[in-house]
Structure 1
């Protein structure tokens, strides 16, 4: 089973342009409670380096590109996000990192719940330890 779950998003359009559709419980497999985006990430800066106990997310690179690293504690997979018509699903208890942001990268993230610092696991060794007892 792959850690990288890329979802094709519905793209509608005509000669005026395109519209990409994101719908909770349809092409986004959860109810959306929070939306945020990452912009202006400086060259050489990486983001993420955490997992969530319960939160699920979907990330879409609406402009530019970045490299996503997904890690379930047993295997690591990487994918380049570079299409506004693809979303990557980040399940709970998946360590994730974002690297190699292009200067024009806008990474949109949909989250299944509101921000809760207690849901974050920011220490990799703690993440691995929690997997052993799951």
Structure 2
């Protein structure tokens, strides 16, 4: 599937515990917003949208969760469970987060500040948007 990629987060290993570093050289965009999801009931779903322009890097700081990705043709499920591996989701990819383990924490590093106009929150609207703008 295009517009997604697993990113290795640089880590410094130490017998006292590891440190992972997210800096400008690690991600292919300028960080403008950082937020995280936590205390998520295991049966809850998050996401359920696509971005027209924003790029996001999802990092599982603790626990695990699945990211269901759709582009109008393909569907892919990626399990995130290592804090030194992040999922880069570029523009125009539908994402849903589900199957959260107990204590899961998802850090999101975004290329832009919150802008409601950048979101597509209805899957049928997403399919129409993709058809109109990208399948020529």
TM-score with structure 1 length normalisation?
Answer: 0.94
Q: What pairs up with 1:1-134 in 2 under 5 angstroms?
A: 1=1, 4-24=4-24, 26-134=25-133
Distance, in Å, in 1 between the alignment partners of 2:19 and 2:52 is: 33
**What RMSD in Å do the two structures reach over aligned CA positions?**
1.2
- Ranges in structure 1 where 5+ consecutive residues have no aligned partner: none
> Structure 2: how far apart are the matches of 1:4 and 1:82?
17
How far residue 6 of structure 1 moved from its aligned partner, in angstroms, is 0.7
1:20-73, Cα deviation, whole Å (9 max, x unpaired): 01112x221100000000000112111111001111000000100000011111
Structure 1 residue 16, shift from structure 2 partner: 2.2
TM-score by length of 2: 0.93
Equivalent residue of 2:49, what SS? strand
How far did residue 15 of structure 1 move?
Answer: 2.0
Q: CA deviation at 1:13?
A: 2.6
More strand by share: 1
Structure 1 position 9, deviation (Å)? 1.2
The number of residue pairs the alignment matches comes to 133
Checking the alignment, whether the CA contact within 8 Å between 1:40 and 1:105 is kept in structure 2 is yes
Deviates more, 1:32-41 or 1:7-16: 7-16
